[in-house]
Amino acid sequence: MLYFTSDTHFADPRVLRIDRRPFPNMAEHDAALIANWNSIVGPDDEIWHLGDVARGTTEQVEALLAQLNGTKHLIIGNNDPPATLAATGWASIQHYAELKLAGQLFILCHYPFRTWNQMGKKSINLHGHSHGRLKPMPRQFDVGVDPQALLPRTLEEVLASRRARA
């Protein structure tokens, strides 16, 4: 199975205040997000994390990644320090990726785009960064944990999420 997520911000206390996540402290926040991830993503699944993973040393990020199920790909976010990029546990690391799934082109970046490759041919932009606060354009979806109930999501769930809110 293939999953997408973004903006977990493990070990980053700013999310408790700025994003008003419902946890009294970072230990409970991180434990809940790890449990949520592992309740959905299995060891043989693939997951694309679209940036802003965690703060900490390389060793701390490696220990975190070891707790998370799945083959993990990173799209680099603005809050991913060198320690996150240096951590072992990533199958790939890049700023941008294009995936073709069932004949559909998906454009992956941490940042939401105003325009993107093959937009006129119905490609879809998956992003993070905005924590659910940005009004999306057609065929643009925020896969961050804030608008996705603090969970990684399948592509089908991401695409259906806007229809559910409409």
Domains of the chain: 2-165 (3.60.21.10)
pLDDT at position 162, please? 65
Helix (H) / strand (E) element for 38: namely helix 26-40
pTM of the full predicted structure? 0.95
pLDDT at position 90, please? 98
Compute the distance between CA of residue 154 and CA of residue 41 in angstroms, rounded to an integer: 10
CA nearest 133: which of 7, 25, 4? 7
Compute the mean pLDDT over every residue in the chain, rounded to the nearest whole number.
94
pLDDT at position 152, please? 98
Q: Is the pLDDT of residue 18 over 70?
A: yes
pLDDT at position 165, please? 46
Q: Which residue has the tokens 């799945």?
A: 70
Instruction: Indicate the pLDDT class of residue 166, thresholds 50, 70 and 90.
Output: very low
Apex CA 156: angle with CA 144 and CA 70, to 5°?
65
Compute the distance between CA of residue 124 and CA of residue 105 in angstroms, rounded to an integer: 6
How much is the average pLDDT of 24-40?
98
Q: Is the pLDDT of residue 8 over 60?
A: yes
Q: Is the pLDDT of residue 156 over 90?
A: yes
DSSP structure class, residue 10 = B
Quick: pLDDT tens for 76-125. Answer: 999 999 999 999 999 999 999 999 999 999 999 999 999 999 999 999 99
Q: Is the pLDDT of residue 55 over 60?
A: yes
How much is the average pLDDT of 123-148?
93
Instruction: Indicate the pLDDT class of residue 126, thresholds 50, 70 and 90.
Output: very high
